[in-house]
Amino acid sequence: MSAALGRPGTALEAVTDLLDLRPGAPRPGTTRLGVVAGRGGPRFLVPVSHPDAAPEVCLAYLGLRDARTRVQRGAVGWALRAGAERLVVRDELLADAGPGSLLHLLEELLHDDDHEPGLAVGIGLGHRDEVWKPTLQLFRPDGTPAAFVKVGLGPVADQLVATEAAALAAWARHPDPRLVVPDLLAATTWNGIRIAVVAPLPEDVRRLPPGTPSAWAVRDLDGPPSCAALADAPWWTRRTEREGDGPVRTLLEQIGDRHADATGSWARWHGDWVPWNLARCHRGLVAWDWEYSEPDAPVGLDEVHGAYQQARIVEQQPIAAALEVARLAAERLVAAGTSPGSPAELRRRAGTDEVPSPFPSARWLADLHLAMLLTRSTELERLAGTPPHDRAELLAAAEAGGRRR
């Protein structure tokens, strides 16, 4: 199989192609995966060939999940642990684990003399949208977590996996004790498909208390934040140079004109700084899923986009309402006057006794968040060959918001 093949219609079809899944009696070079179904169809695959690992696919990190998922997966996990596989597994499929297969490659990459040979794999089969990609959760036969594997199946997923691998590699070169980031164990390809193998989360990982923490630890990854006018900022020029004629370019030009004289701070951002990508352990704050990380982003973008994501994904608000939530988050951030470094460091860099704000204004931050959403939508369309499902709603909300301001 190669990344150039046609796009499968469902997550199960994509995973079937990837792992060469098929029904039949077990035979050498294969491993058995059980299909766990929900009301809407197959939900995830569990490694029934490895009875000690199968429950962990559902129970590992269960405390990090939302209440509904904790109940659903917990019930399946405890049933598997009790040996009641028949109650929760609808069908069984064989996955290719022989030479040349993806699972064989992963076993070679993760070989450890201290563990029994073999790997157990669990795979979520959620709703497939423009940014979905197969993510394999790997365990040792005894149920010990081994790795997460991000698979760049298709052009969108390929870019996301490449971005995460690059961000994790950069973090490994310049770690910050304020943040715990899973190690990049391997970055490679299989049959032309990009693969990133990422270390499991810390054993004592647990949910954060309500609220989203500051992303300041992320911003020092590439060195101290820089100061630049919008027109001179690489983050901005990369977006405007890629954008052709159309409504998005018109909106970007309006934003550029509105903030032509503003100077702001720019630094690395995580890209999806939300509670479901964050946790805590004894070493401190834990952050994963760096698929949208970029250098030289507007300081504060993580917090503003995090508020937008909460409104849009968790509360399922319309885009216009979620953009208003993001705007209010920008106002709170600017009002707090949080700085990207110590006052002494800021004064030294600015050559002044005054501490400059990293945010020219709340509108500057909210507008650049909107610019990010618009250009991300354009990039998704370029890679996927079709507009994202919410493209029209985003444009309508952006144009209406511009008229009101």
pTM of the model: 0.90
Treating both helix axes as pointing N-terminal to C-terminal, what angle do 301-309 and 362-384 enclose, rounded to 10 degrees?
70
**Domain residue ranges in the chain:** 11-198, 216-404
Confidence at residue 60, expressed as pLDDT on a 0 to 100 scale: 92
CA 289 vs. chain centroid, Å, equals 4
Q: Tell me: the pLDDT tens digits for 124-144?
A: 987 788 889 999 999 999 999
Compute the average pLDDT of residues 66-90.
Answer: 89
Percentage of the chain surpassing pLDDT 90? 69
Residue 240 has pLDDT above 50, yes or no: yes
- Could you please report the per-residue DSSP string of 97-128? -STTSHHHHHHHHT--TTS-S--EEEEE----
Grade residue 90 by pLDDT with cuts at 50, 70 and 90. confident
- Counted residue by residue, the chain has a size of 405
Quick check: 198 and 148 in contact, CB under 8 A? yes
Q: Tell me: the pLDDT tens digits for 284-297?
A: 999 999 999 999 99
Compute the average pLDDT of residues 144-173.
Answer: 96
Confidence at residue 360, expressed as pLDDT on a 0 to 100 scale: 87
What fold does the segment set 216-404 form as a domain? Aminoglycoside 3'-phosphotransferase; Chain: A, domain 2 (3.90.1200)
What does the CA dihedral 383, 384, 385, 391 come to, rounded to 10 degrees?
-100
Amino acid identity for residue 359 in this structure: F
Greatest CA separation for the chain: 75
Residue 393 has pLDDT above 60, yes or no: yes
Compute the average pLDDT of residues 355-365.
Answer: 82
